[in-house]
Amino acid sequence: MSHTPSPSAPTTILEKVIDFVDERVGLKLLAAKMLNEPVPGGSRWAYVFGSVLLFIFIMQAVTGVLLMFYYVPTADHAYASTQYILHEVDYGWFLLGYHFWGSTA
């Protein structure tokens, strides 16, 4: 006789880890409370901009730290290091572009 897990039993290692952490910390309950909070006046697109701005700010910090590994901020090496980031670093063009355009938000 084979044992088949019930539908609510975790099947993957990731689900087991999430359930393990959730039993001790209660993240699922906290997330449910935060995500099910009623918005006074209804939901609107204008409420999205704060979250988008926070996301862009965090990405600015992350891309800034990653660029810090390659960029040399001296007058004689700044252009060469920027060209190195654009042409030699894997996805450096995307990293520098995201950091540049994210700064205009």
First CA to last CA distance, the chain? 61
| pLDDT, block means (10 residues), the chain with 105 residues | 60 89 89 84 83 93 95 94 95 94 87
Query: pTM of the entire structure?
Result: 0.60
pLDDT of residue 3: 60
In a shared domain, residues 52 and 77: yes
- Domain housing 27: 1-37
Q: Are 34 and 26 in contact (CB under 8 A)?
A: no
- Domain match, 32 and 49 both: no
Do residue 55 and residue 87 come from a single domain? yes
Is there a single domain that holds both residue 66 and residue 90? yes
pLDDT of residue 40: 80
pLDDT of residue 11: 81
